[in-house]
Amino acid sequence: MSAGLVLGMFAATWAPQLAHASTPAKAAKTSLANKFAKLPEATIEQLQAAERVLIGRYDCEFGKRVSVDRNDINKGYFNLKLGKQSWVMMPVQSSTGAIRLEDVKGGALLIQILTKSMLMDVKAGRRMVDGCVHEVQRAAEVELAKQPPRQSIFDTPSASTDTSK
């Protein structure tokens, strides 16, 4: 075999793999840089909502776990992780009192209410995980269970409270 033939076989075998090998590394560096990019400064409303965000681990249905940590680079923002996925989230106070953690790129949404949280895929319009409970939410659920039941507008009136007779 000639040296040219061997070199040609080597190039045909390894050149495509070597060409693609540099692409993911470059993409990884770009995504890493974007992950740590400086975000717009948090508004006063965002900082107020950030005080109510529950930091730490949430145990979810089907044995899944979500974790929420403060973003060290951008005050008023949070890092959210589910398995190998991660997002940079911005807190928003809703009119109902729920805290919304909105992905700065618009892909995910964590809704945090008194007794549970839910992570949504906004683009697909579906739940990623539901029934996520932080230790503070678990304690709130226990406290609510201790409260006596409240009368509802849908309850039938008892005989002693019926004054129409």
Q: What is the mean pLDDT of residues 86-108?
A: 93
* pLDDT number for residue 59: 96
Q: Give the per-residue pLDDT at 5.
A: 47
Inform me whether the pLDDT recorded for 10 exceeds 60.
Answer: no
Whether the model pTM is above 0.95: no
Which pLDDT value is given to residue 153?
84
SS3 per-residue string spanning the chain: CCHHHHHHHHHHHHHHHHHHHHHHHHHHHHHHHHHCCCCCCCCHHHHHHHCCCCCEEEECHHHCEEEEEECCCCCCCEEEEECCEEEEEEEEECCCCCEEEEECCCCEEEEECCCCEEEEECCCCEEEEEEEECHHHHHHHHHHHHCCCCCCCCCCCCHHHCCCC
Structure confidence by residue, pLDDT tens digits, 18-71: 444 444 444 444 444 455 567 888 889 999 999 999 999 999 999 999 999 999
Dist. CA 57–CA 79, nearest whole Å: 12
In angstroms, the CA 76 to CA 78 distance is 7
- At 98-135, the pLDDT tens digits run 999 999 999 999 999 999 999 999 999 999 999 999 99
Structure tokens at 108: 């995910």
As a whole number of angstroms, the distance between CA 137 and CA 53 comes to 11
Instruction: Report the pLDDT value the prediction gives residue 161, as an integer from 0 to 100.
Output: 52
Determine contact, residues 93/49, Cβ cutoff 8 Å: yes
pLDDT digits (tens, 9 = 90+) for 146-159: 988 888 888 776 65
